Amino acid sequence: MNGQVVNKVSTRGRSRRRSRLSGIAVIMLALVAVGSLYTAVAAPSSAQESEPANQSMKVQEGRDLFLSGCSTCHGLNLAGGAGGPSLIGVGASSVIFQVESGRMPLAAGVQQAPRKDVRYTTEQIDALAAYIDSNGGGPSLPSGSLTDGDLQLGGALFRTNCASCHNFAGSGGALTYGKYAPELEQASARVIYTAMQSGPESMPRYGDNQLTVEEKKAITRYVRYITEAEDVGGAGLGRYGPLTEGLVAWVVGVVALVALTLWIGARA
Ligand code: HEC
Ligand code: HEC
């Protein structure tokens, strides 16, 4: 493509049509260059969000949230009480799993805490997790993206480790004594990853020596992949997220506008 453009530029002046074509080619090249630059600049900023700069403020916020929303069952000092177990040493991941899947705060004495609408924002959940973790740590989320693992590997590991309870399509299934393994469709990447780390109810806990961080990330990506199978609202664009969508919409839109302008100009 590059050689073609240079070629066209060097033979300019032959005809008006030629030079207009080369103009279009240069504009296209510039658009692609700007687009790539945009992806390169925009990508890293979202990756490094959760910097523990004001960790103590976060812990303080988490303490306030805990005292108002959780302490009636889990005790004022996390040691547990009549309504719920001790949370000392459960770790940030267990908190993220329970709260981000809407299981906590628990409503009433049910046999298995069901999934409900999430009551807290992601920031508040992280604050709760930071506070509870600061009183005796346990597993916490690894840094970086949770869904950049190997899809193929994730599929193989899911079939051997998880499908027996959750079904091959992640649609869940019944377990003994009226318990059930839920469908995985609504689980965010954080909920999938922390489920493996904390092993809620009768689900096994997968420590880093059973499934490495890379393997858990691979499974997380795979579960998101199979449960998002249909692409609502058009092409999936490789499911790389809003960045690609925006980029494609932008490039396609601008190219269409430029083409329209040139066409109108040529008619005038
Ligand atoms: C109505 C009582 C009640 C309230 C309110 C409540 N919990 Fe719980 N919590 C429970 C019970 C009961 C369990 C055990 C449930 C189970 O095993 O399914 C539990 C389990 C948990 C666990 C899992 C512990 C482990 O061993 O891994 C976490 C974490 C947790 N709760 C956090 C919270 C947080 C954070 C809040 C506030 C946002 C909260 N809970 C509010 C009753 C409650
Ligand atoms: C022995 C059966 C069993 C196996 C094996 C198992 N799970 Fe689970 N899983 C459960 C049960 C039971 C729950 C519900 C726990 C609760 O309600 O607190 C659950 C809950 C979950 C959830 C939360 C779903 C939601 O949105 O609320 C996710 C995600 C999950 N499991 C993923 C996995 C993955 C990934 C694997 C394989 C690495 C796996 N599970 C292996 C039984 C199992």
Most confident segment among 23-37, 178-192, 203-217: 203-217
- Cα–Cα distance measured from residue 15 to residue 191, given in angstroms and rounded to the nearest whole number: 62
Which ligand is nearest to the Cα of residue 174, counting in written order?
A: 2
Which ligand is nearest to the Cα of residue 132, counting in written order?
A: 1
Q: Distances in Å between the alpha carbon of 201 and those of 25, 103, 110, 264? A: 60, 12, 13, 66
161 CA to centre of ligand 1 in angstroms: 26
Which ligand is nearest to the Cα of residue 86, counting in written order?
A: 1
Which ligand is nearest to the Cα of residue 226, counting in written order?
A: 2
Measured from the CA of 220, which atom of ligand 2 is nearest?
35
End-to-end CA distance of the chain: 30
Residue 117: pLDDT band with limits 50, 70, 90: confident
- Measured from CB, residues less than 6 Å from any atom of ligand 2 are 101, 103, 112-113, 115, 161-162, 164-166, 175, 179, 181-182, 184, 186-187, 191-192, 195-196, 200-204, 206, 219, 223
Residues above pLDDT 90, as percent of the chain: 48
pLDDT digits (tens, 9 = 90+) for 25-73: 777 777 777 666 666 655 544 444 455 567 889 999 999 999 999 999 9
pLDDT value at residue 42 = 57
Q: Which residue has the tokens 């499974």?
A: 219
224 CA to centre of ligand 2 in angstroms: 14
Residues 6 or more apart whose Cβ sits within 8 Å of residue 16: none
Buried residues in 34-48 as b, exposed as e (16+ CB within 10 A): eeeeeeeeeeeeeee
175 CA to centre of ligand 1 in angstroms: 22
Residue 12 has pLDDT above 70, yes or no: no
pLDDT value at residue 46 = 45
CB atoms within 10 A of CB 248: 13
168 CA to centre of ligand 1 in angstroms: 29
Could you tell which of 93, 203, 225, 226 is best to mutate to test the pocket of ligand 2, judged by most ligand atoms within 8 Å of the CB? 203
- Cα–Cα distance measured from residue 59 to residue 61, given in angstroms and rounded to the nearest whole number: 5
Residue having the nearest C-alpha atom to atom 21 of ligand 2? 195
Phi, psi of 251 (to 5 degrees): -60, -50
Residue 242: pLDDT band with limits 50, 70, 90: low
Position with higher pLDDT, 136 vs 157: 157
Q: Which residue has the tokens 């269409």?
A: 256
